[in-house]
Amino acid sequence: MKPEAAKRQIRAIKGVRDILPPESALWNRVEQTARDVFATYGYGEIRLPIFEETELFARSVGSETDIVSKEMYSFFDPDRDLEDLVEGYISSVRGKGSSPNILEQYVGAGFALLQWFSTRDPDTLTGKPRELALALREKASRQFSETTLDEIPEIISAFQKPMLQYHREFRNAISVAVSLRPEATASVCRAYIEHGMHTLPGDVKLYYIGPMFRRERPQKGRYRQFYQIGAEVLGQSDAPAIDAEVIEMLMAFFHRVGLTGCKLHLNSIGCRDCRPNYVEKLREALLKVKGQLGSDSQRRIETNPLRVLDSKLPEEQPIIEKLPRIGEHLCPACREHFAALQEQLKLRSIAYEINWRLVRGLDYYMRTTFEIIAPGLGAQNAVCGGGRYDGLVELLGGPATKGIGFAIGTDRVVLSLFTPDEDFWLPPRPQPPAQVVKPFTDDDVLPAAPVLDVLIAWMGAAAYPTAVKLARRLRGEGLSVELPAEEMKLKKSLGLADKLGARYAIIIGENEVASGRFTVKRLVDAQQRELGEAELIEFLRSKP
């Protein structure tokens, strides 16, 4: 290394940053609050890889989106053994050496390559490498069957040219295209399929915390390595109560973390039946005003007309206001789902604003979409985005599954919360460990699945609002509660409570609503008692 090069100060690369103490203490508080709140809703943590096959994001987020087409950090990760083989082969071809050793290596590597080509499924390759693989495979099978050992160098030399010519493509062909994750919903769905989670009882509720990577133009609140806290519900039901509960959990998190003045924006972007018609209508309308739009929006008319609605250009605003609105083009099923979601939100006293332009930039969303806007953040004021993505698991090769989730932008939450004179800005006081941690021994039992304190078995529409209120109350006390989104027969609810390992079931029917007293059943021995709300909370809190 040259001396002046050694002296150059190396700084963090553009758009990424260090988070130092004491600010990191605030980060920990935010993340811990999410863990605490999400646990009360029965979510377990999933830790995901930071990089995945590029195709995972191309297929789910969508290859036409900015995220996939422009913003991913991608690279080819070659199969090491094959790469060595290819490099050996190429250098022996280049060297054209005549020593027996080189010739041996050359023949051996050539043979191995042809063998690899002849076993490899060409469907996994695309473009030139695929053509090459098919041609070579054909030659290999035709010629080698009738070839004597003496003729091998001659045959291999026939492949020299294409080998050298396509060296790069060839390397790519033996590589996996991978990307640093720009988001994590796709990974959650991939993991759901890979681990057969559809066989688990009830809905699968997962949360994740970690960095994401997008090559965006950095500015305040927008980074190239940023952090998200996300949660997903995957299962068989798309009941609007699930969407509402996800949103309720999110609002509970923002409340607990102390972020005030947040606004919930809500929309429905329809489904595979009704959205394409709307997109066509939108495209037609946009073509009529194409000349008045900026170049980004003009391009999006072809690639992704919905994204025009995201435009922040002042001169485009009056034009966008006159465009057809998705809400007027929803199919009856989507309209009903959206109306029911709004009822569910009202029942939970969650304020929202319908924003017909909220389309979200990712292909996989359908029906419910939402965003949370926080005050004081300037242009990058969305602190959370989410929505429903039924069918995504299927698209990735899994069973038919419904899904909904969100991702909170941790950087922005922290930015919004930060005030230099608050306590969390002080260095944290060391805490003694809660208990002495012993090393594992053979007799140790690994921790069981996350504890579920209560399942609320509700019966009859009249019992539901009471169940929703009680669930929220109990969660506020730090208890983890499962509230079935749809009505179930008592036997089925109790069966689910058993499968989920709940400690107690609380039974709410019309009688309980009228009397204000709830039946609590301890699942381990089926003992029951009837308690009022205050006694019930006291009882559950005192039974660790």
Q: Which is nearer to ligand AMP, 385 or 403 (CB)?
A: 385
Binding to ligand AMP, residues 186-245 (CB under 6 A): 214, 216, 221-223, 226, 228
How many residues contact ligand AMP, by CB under 6 A?
16
Q: Which is nearer to ligand AMP, 27 or 111 (CB)?
A: 27
Question: Hey, which residues does 78 pair with through a beta bridge?
Answer: 175
Mask for 124-163, x = binds ligand AMP (CB under 6 A): ----------------------------------------
In the complex, least distance from residue 386 CB atom to ligand AMP, rounded to whole angstroms: 7
Q: Which is nearer to ligand AMP, 41 or 364 (CB)?
A: 364
List 129, 240, 385, 398, residue binding ligand AMP (CB under 6 A): 385
Q: Which has the closest alpha carbon to 141: 119, 172, 124?
A: 119
Fill in the amino acid letter for 447.
Answer: P
List 190, 307, 388, 412, residue binding ligand AMP (CB under 6 A): 412
List 152, 407, 494, 497, residue binding ligand AMP (CB under 6 A): 407
Which residue's entry shows tokens 């150059």? 8
In the complex, least distance from residue 411 CB atom to ligand AMP, rounded to whole angstroms: 5
List 301, 384, 393, 520, residue binding ligand AMP (CB under 6 A): 384
For ligand AMP, which residue has the nearest CB?
Answer: 409
**What DSSP string runs through 151-177?**
GHHHHHHHHHHHHHHTHHHHHHHTEEE
Q: Which has the closest alpha carbon to 255: 386, 394, 140, 348?
A: 348
Binding window for ligand AMP (CB under 6 A); candidates: 23-31, 141-149, 304-312, 381-389: 381-389
Binding window for ligand AMP (CB under 6 A); candidates: 36-44, 75-83, 287-295, 376-384: 376-384
In the complex, least distance from residue 471 CB atom to ligand AMP, rounded to whole angstroms: 26
In the complex, least distance from residue 216 CB atom to ligand AMP, rounded to whole angstroms: 5
Question: Hey, which residues does 481 pair with through a beta bridge?
Answer: 454
| Contact predicate 262/353, CB 8 Å | no
| Contact predicate 21/353, CB 8 Å | no
Question: Hey, which residues does 468 pair with through a beta bridge?
Answer: none
- Helix (H) or strand (E) holding 190, with range, is helix 185-194
Burial class of residue 444 (count of CB atoms within 10 Å of its CB; 0-12, 13-18, 19+): exposed
For residue 535, what are the contacts with CB-CB under 8 A and spacing of at least 6? none
506-509: long-range contacts (C-beta < 8 A, 24 or more apart)? Answer: 506/454, 506/455, 506/456, 506/457, 506/470, 506/536, 507/457, 507/459, 508/456, 508/457, 508/458, 508/459, 508/463, 508/466, 508/467, 508/470, 509/458, 509/459, 509/460, 509/463
Binding window for ligand AMP (CB under 6 A); candidates: 382-390, 432-440, 463-471, 510-518: 382-390
In the complex, least distance from residue 318 CB atom to ligand AMP, rounded to whole angstroms: 26
Which residue's entry shows tokens 């053979």? 442
List 52, 245, 316, 411, residue binding ligand AMP (CB under 6 A): 411
Contact call for residue 396 and ligand AMP (CB under 6 A): no
Query: Cis peptide before 428, with omega less than 30 degrees from 0?
Result: no
425 Rama sector, left if φ>0, alpha if ψ -120 to 50, beta otherwise: alpha
In the complex, least distance from residue 215 CB atom to ligand AMP, rounded to whole angstroms: 9
Mask for 170-189, x = binds ligand AMP (CB under 6 A): -------------x------
In the complex, least distance from residue 228 CB atom to ligand AMP, rounded to whole angstroms: 5
Contact call for residue 383 and ligand AMP (CB under 6 A): yes
Contact call for residue 365 and ligand AMP (CB under 6 A): no
Q: For 236-278, where are the E strands, in sequence order?
A: 263-268
In the complex, least distance from residue 302 CB atom to ligand AMP, rounded to whole angstroms: 22
b/e per residue 139-162 (b: at least 16 CB within 10 A): bbeeeeeeeeeeebeebbeebbeb
Q: Which is nearer to ligand AMP, 61 or 470 (CB)?
A: 61
Q: Which has the closest alpha carbon to 211: 73, 100, 348?
A: 73
In the complex, least distance from residue 230 CB atom to ligand AMP, rounded to whole angstroms: 8
Contact call for residue 382 and ligand AMP (CB under 6 A): yes
In the complex, least distance from residue 205 CB atom to ligand AMP, rounded to whole angstroms: 19
Q: Footprint of ligand AMP on this chain (CB under 6 A)? A: 183, 214, 216, 221-223, 226, 228, 382-385, 407, 409, 411-412
